[in-house]
A and B are shown apart, each in its own frame.
Chain A
């Protein structure tokens, strides 16, 4: 008998294993929803698939006469803009700070404690400060994402850079490389796959910060809409929106993974498990 930990599903069996829980979950929902609607035709908590499709048509296809645009796309565009700006700023700062702190003992001594201190502050607690300083507009929401994910990314990257074997750094110097050249040609390329990895891990928290900020003060955005229709118990809108957010999150994750695999093949040797 083979050990459980040595059984590796491949091909079709792997696909079936992966999709089965999703299908089971969907079926359970269908059963529960049908049963509830049999008892109470006005049931709102578990809307039928038909009701959700109707709402999706209203939200994602029809132009809202009041705003002159399609709500779902308007919300998606607004949210992705905030998320994209926030994560771009966070990633760029993490790259610069992470490289400096990981590579230069001087920067580590100077910035390490500051970054460690910022990292322990819960970002949501800072949100009121952001609303007071930056107003209720776009800036506060973007800054929240930046503050929320940058410290983690900086520390993760700095740790990774600092863990580059000393031998490599010394070897670079014996080949005549300056600090700048070692940063550019030894540390930076080895930082990039890790940066993409930590960006992937930061997507989840970034969404949390985005939706929180939108829920509290906004007039457009995926998080705003979900919290708006909550007042009417509109589960038939909330559920498709949540599914859409999940789909976007999965897509970004896959895109980042593909970029990393393509651009840095040396960082993705054959996975054993």
Chain B
């Protein structure tokens, strides 16, 4: 099976602080990779690399066999823990955003029949994430869970090759979290998504992922802790998960 995403000897350093070292791994299409590790281990940094928000200090990352562009693009969708949606757009407009940028380079807005078709798609996507009743609501009036649903719909409508989630449910109540687990699992299966999800919650990692990746330092220098970076210390494939 060919790898969708592959890391070859990737290092990230900030000044003389090494955050990630010697990361070698590949992710297949259709995988749901949970990423865990202690705070500060570099989980968000790892996602930022895939996102292209940051470039590795050394090493190569390939997406679909070609070197990754070190700039966010529409092949990689993302949902952050917070601030993932646009506060000045209501729910439908938030989901329409990507379609409008795609369809109108100059104005970033669609009109007439094109807008109607795009809107229908956006509404269908919002219904799929359970926001069919909140189409015209601004994010500030949505609960935390609903905002994350909106952010997921907004990302999914562009059909990204990889969906990156950085503690997407970290700020939610346990009950809401449980609903979101159901939602993301269903979406993963239905849309054959490839997902990389960072979480602090080990149970969540094993429950949702079909592979769990632990980032941590392999070596420790008590006198200069910053001189050793994290890498994938554990990598569990979970065979019992139905593939998307």
**Chain A CB within 10 A, most for which of B51, B83, B101:** B101
Stretch from B32-40, B102-110, B112-120, B122-130 at the A interface: B102-110
Indicate whether B206 reaches chain A with its CB closer than 8 angstroms. no
Q: Which single residue of chain A is at the shortest CB-CB distance from B107? A: A184
B158 CB contacts on chain A under 8 angstroms: 174-176
Kindly identify, within residues 148 to 175 of chain B, every residue whose CB is under 8 Å from any CB belonging to chain A: 151, 154-155, 158, 160
Q: How large is the interface on A (under 10, 10 to 19, 20 to 34, 35 or more residues)?
A: 20 to 34
Contact of A168 among B71, B86, B102, B109 (CB under 8 A): B86
Q: Give the Cβ gap from A36 to chain B, nearest Cβ, in Å.
A: 56
| Complex alpha-carbon distance, A170 and B80, angstroms | 10
| Complex alpha-carbon distance, A99 and B151, angstroms | 25
Q: List 20 A-B contacts (CB under 8 A).
A: A165-B82, A167-B84, A170-B78, A171-B151, A171-B155, A172-B86, A173-B71, A174-B72, A174-B158, A175-B101, A175-B154, A175-B155, A176-B98, A176-B102, A184-B107, A185-B109, A186-B86, A264-B88, A265-B138, A266-B140
| Complex alpha-carbon distance, A165 and B81, angstroms | 12
Q: Give the Cβ gap from B109 to chain A, nearest Cβ, in Å.
A: 8
A165→B83 contact, CB < 8 A: yes
A185-B97, A266-B88, A266-B138 known; A174-B77 Cβ under 8 A: yes
Closest 9 CB pairs of A and B: A175-B98, A176-B74, A173-B72, A165-B83, A167-B83, A181-B108, A177-B101, A185-B108, A167-B80
B106 CB contacts on chain A under 8 angstroms: 180
Q: Which single residue of chain A is at the shortest CB-CB distance from B138? A: A266
Kindly identify, within residues 51 to 106 of chain B, every residue whose CB is under 8 Å from any CB belonging to chain A: 51, 53, 71-74, 76-78, 80, 82-89, 97-98, 100-102, 105-106
| Complex alpha-carbon distance, A266 and B91, angstroms | 12
Q: Give the Cβ gap from B233 to chain A, nearest Cβ, in Å.
A: 28
A171 CB contacts on chain B under 8 angstroms: 78, 80, 84-86, 151, 154-155
B51→A190 contact, CB < 8 A: no
Q: Which single residue of chain A is at the shortest CB-CB distance from B160? A: A174
A178 CB contacts on chain B under 8 angstroms: 101, 105
| Complex alpha-carbon distance, A99 and B87, angstroms | 18
A170→B72 contact, CB < 8 A: yes
A190 CB contacts on chain B under 8 angstroms: 87-88
Q: Number of B interface residues, CB 8 Å?
A: 35
| Complex alpha-carbon distance, A176 and B89, angstroms | 17
Indicate whether A267 reaches chain B with its CB closer than 8 angstroms. yes
| Complex alpha-carbon distance, A171 and B53, angstroms | 11
Q: Give the Cβ gap from B204 to chain A, nearest Cβ, in Å.
A: 21
| Complex alpha-carbon distance, A172 and B101, angstroms | 9
B77 CB contacts on chain A under 8 angstroms: 174-175
| Complex alpha-carbon distance, A264 and B90, angstroms | 12
| Complex alpha-carbon distance, A169 and B72, angstroms | 10
Q: Which single residue of chain A is at the shortest CB-CB distance from B90? A: A266
B53 CB contacts on chain A under 8 angstroms: 170
A167-B83, A168-B83, A266-B140 known; A174-B74 Cβ under 8 A: yes
A174→B86 contact, CB < 8 A: no
Q: Give the Cβ gap from A173 to chain B, nearest Cβ, in Å.
A: 4
Q: Which single residue of chain B is at the shortest CB-CB distance from A185? A: B108
Indicate whether A269 reaches chain B with its CB closer than 8 angstroms. yes
Q: Give the Cβ gap from B38 to chain A, nearest Cβ, in Å.
A: 23
Indicate whether A189 reaches chain B with its CB closer than 8 angstroms. yes
A184 CB contacts on chain B under 8 angstroms: 107-108
B140→A173 contact, CB < 8 A: no
B140 CB contacts on chain A under 8 angstroms: 266, 269
Kindly identify, within residues 182 to 241 of chain A, every residue whose CB is under 8 Å from any CB belonging to chain B: 184-186, 189-190
A173 CB contacts on chain B under 8 angstroms: 71-73
| Complex alpha-carbon distance, A265 and B139, angstroms | 12
**0/1 interface trace, chain A 112-151, chain B, CB 8 Å (1 if under):** 0000000000000000000000000000000000000000
Q: Give the Cβ gap from B190 to chain A, nearest Cβ, in Å.
A: 21
A172→B97 contact, CB < 8 A: yes
Q: Give the Cβ gap from B68 to chain A, nearest Cβ, in Å.
A: 13
Contact of A189 among B84, B88, B155, B160 (CB under 8 A): B88
Contact of B105 among A181, A266, A267 (CB under 8 A): A181
A-B contact sample (15 more), CB < 8 A, given A167-B80, A168-B83: A165-B82, A167-B84, A171-B78, A171-B86, A171-B151, A171-B154, A174-B77, A174-B160, A175-B101, A175-B154, A177-B97, A186-B86, A266-B138, A267-B88, A269-B140
